[in-house]
A and B are shown apart, each in its own frame.
Chain A
Amino acid sequence: MNAIAMDHKTTRMVAQGLGWFSLGLGITEVFAPRAVSRWLGMRDGEQLVQSYGLREMAAGIGLLTSQNPRPWMIARTGGDAIDIATLAATFRRDNPKNVNVGIALAAVLGVTAVDAVCTERLCREKVHAVERRRRAVHDYSSRSGFRKPPHEMRGAARDFEVPRDFRIPEPLRPWGT
């Protein structure tokens, strides 16, 4: 029980940490796109870097403020794949900053591993919660609230007269009623 609780707590702490990381990286990319793209040797990559920054900021805010970090972690992991693809495309023979690209790629791969583990744990928690709910079905099948079977109680309150102000407008009533 304790181990599960600890695991749950650690996963959430990691997600929180990744939220701050996302926010920090996002702010850097949004406000210093030229420096980032130059460091990576990307030509005309400023707008792309900025758009990635906005994505990182959204994920960061989501992770830091949402009760349920799972969708934001899924989004982060998807974003990692885009980052890796972009960095791989930047890793060209004619790029003088290939060492920097390599460093960035290694860092992204590392963070991706953490993202993937955290996302997997959150998804597993969700599956377990759903399973638990499915399994732990208390039997409420006899709780009708009626003294007779529901089909016999259908219309038992037809003596109730719907007040005038609660009736549906006359023009919308079915024909003939």
Chain B
Amino acid sequence: MGKEQDRSPRIATAFEQPASESHMKALVWHSPKDVRCDEVPDPTIEDPRDAIIKVTSCAICGSDLHLYDGYMPGMMNGDVLGHECMGEVVEVGAGARGSLKVGDRVVVPFTIICGECEQCRRGNFSVCERTNRNKSMADKVFGHTTAGLFGYTHLTGGYAGGQAEYIRVPFADKTHIKVPKSLPDEQLLFLSDILPTGWQAAVQCDIQPTDTVAIWGCGPVGQMAIRSAILLGAKEVIAIDCIPERLSMARAGGATIINFEEESTVERLNEITHGKGPEKCIDAVGLEAHATATLDSMYDKAKQSVMLETDRPHVLREMMYVCRPAGVLSVAGVYGGLLDKIPFGAYMNKGLTMRTGQTHVNRWTDDLLRRIEEGQIDPSFVITHKIGLEDGPEMYKTFRDKEDGCVKVFISPGRSNGKANGNGAARGAMV
């Protein structure tokens, strides 16, 4: 396909038309549970503030699974997935030249930011007022728009994502994180989402040295939240999940673990905290809680199956119930729509505070990059599978079903199909 020839470094002019008809590989959403590695047209500069990035690595995020499973409204056949990626700048629009140049190495934050609106000026980047090109749709659904997101629903702009060989980055003069060439992609990629998301989840708790922090979900965001809470000095961090591999990774990070399939989360949390409950609770699960054998989760499943409820908020209910009075709930897990049977009485009477939101990525990344460079944290610990783009569709299933010890999938678009530990399926290379 002559990709390198097509993408030789150059400065693009505003609204330049495609120079070639070349195509690239990308992971494309067709319908729920139908993701394919397709050939799609190369992205081009569409606005002076755009840049084109050659993706050197990307990842599958837990919130991609909400799209995969069809729980997030506003997806369309042909959407390119992925909101965690990094790479090298290969084209720069005229309006972004002051901030970026061809050859720069950048991580792409999943939130697209203008850097100029009132929210961006206050550091609330994930609710940027100008980057969602489907603002009217978001206004109707959410009341007011939030920022544009890569590779996500059309409610957040429907921008093509980064599980591809190239990505167009709108508002590129602001929507980037420059990173040094001295560190490998594995250590830097997660600045795009899961590291700042876990960090913000912990920061939202305003952790005190006397605090016990309970974290529901030991997926990638949960793992980052555990490390963040430890670094921020929590007295004790308790991690809740049912997948042994994830619990073992949580324990490695310094957490006390609760396997909710083997013991009652509420009873155990109360036992650990001498009957008082944790001061700070973090939801790193979101709308697809898989709690087993609880009445409320069966109720949610039933309502969700007849489209009377969009989300399964078991974790939210449990946090409201078990959190210590005057405590803080921090919600990093993604929710999409309407939730039922929320114990708001407990929430109100106990005087709880809840902090939520998509991550204001760029607000935290300078500080986090410094901590990575100083060796305080190495986010690559979370990578369990390395694959090429062709293995992406199969790996979506593996990740969704939490099989093969899968916690985080690292994709190198330049890498060819790498079936390494052949259990009959394309597993990629376990690391």
Contact = CB atoms under 8 A, between A and B. Distances in A.
Interface of A: 1, 58, 61-62, 65-68, 71, 130, 133-134, 136-147, 150-151, 153-158, 160, 162-163, 165-169, 172, 174, 177
Given A167-B206, A172-B351, A172-B353, 15 more contacts: A71-B298, A136-B404, A139-B248, A143-B253, A144-B254, A145-B378, A146-B376, A154-B231, A155-B231, A156-B376, A157-B233, A157-B371, A158-B233, A165-B123, A172-B328
Contacts of B228: 157
A45 B232 CA distance: 65
Interface string B407-431: 1000000000000000010000010
Contacts of A153: 230-231, 254, 376
A80 B371 CA distance: 61
Interface in B245-273: 245-246, 248-249, 251-254, 261
Contacts, number: 130
B353 A145 contact: no
B381 interface: yes
A68 B355 contact: no
B248 A65 contact: no
Interface of B: 69, 122-123, 203-206, 208-210, 223, 227-228, 230-234, 243-246, 248-249, 251-254, 261, 298, 301-302, 305-306, 326, 328, 351, 353, 355, 363, 367, 371, 375-382, 384, 402, 404-405, 407, 424, 430
A166 B204 contact: yes
Contact of A130 (B245, B251, B261, B377): B261
A140 B249 contact: yes
Contacts of B351: 172
B402 A140 contact: no
Given A137-B245, A162-B203, A155 B305 contact: no
A150 B208 CA distance: 17
**Shortest Cβ-Cβ A-B pairs, 10 listed:** A150-B254, A138-B405, A155-B233, A157-B231, A145-B381, A140-B249, A65-B305, A143-B381, A168-B206, A66-B305
A75 to B, nearest CB: 9
Contacts of A58: 302
A83 B367 CA distance: 65
A140 B206 contact: no
Contacts of B379: 145
A145 B246 CA distance: 14
Given A143-B382, A147-B375, A156-B376, A172 B306 contact: no
Contact of B377 (A136, A145, A168, A172): A145
Contacts of B249: 140-141, 143
Given A130-B261, A133-B402, A166-B206, A145 B244 contact: no
B253 A166 contact: no
A143 B252 contact: yes
B265 to A, nearest CB: 17
Q: Which of A141, A147, A168, A177 has the most CB of B within 10 A?
A: A168
Contacts of B381: 143-145
A145 B255 CA distance: 13
B301 A71 contact: yes
Contacts of B122: 165
Contact of B328 (A140, A160, A168): A168
A163 B209 CA distance: 17
A138 B251 contact: no
Contact of B405 (A61, A140, A147, A151): A140
Nearest to A144: B252
Contact of B210 (A61, A65, A154, A174): A174
Nearest to B33: A67
Contact of A146 (B123, B253, B355, B382): B253
B230 A133 contact: no
B231 A141 contact: no
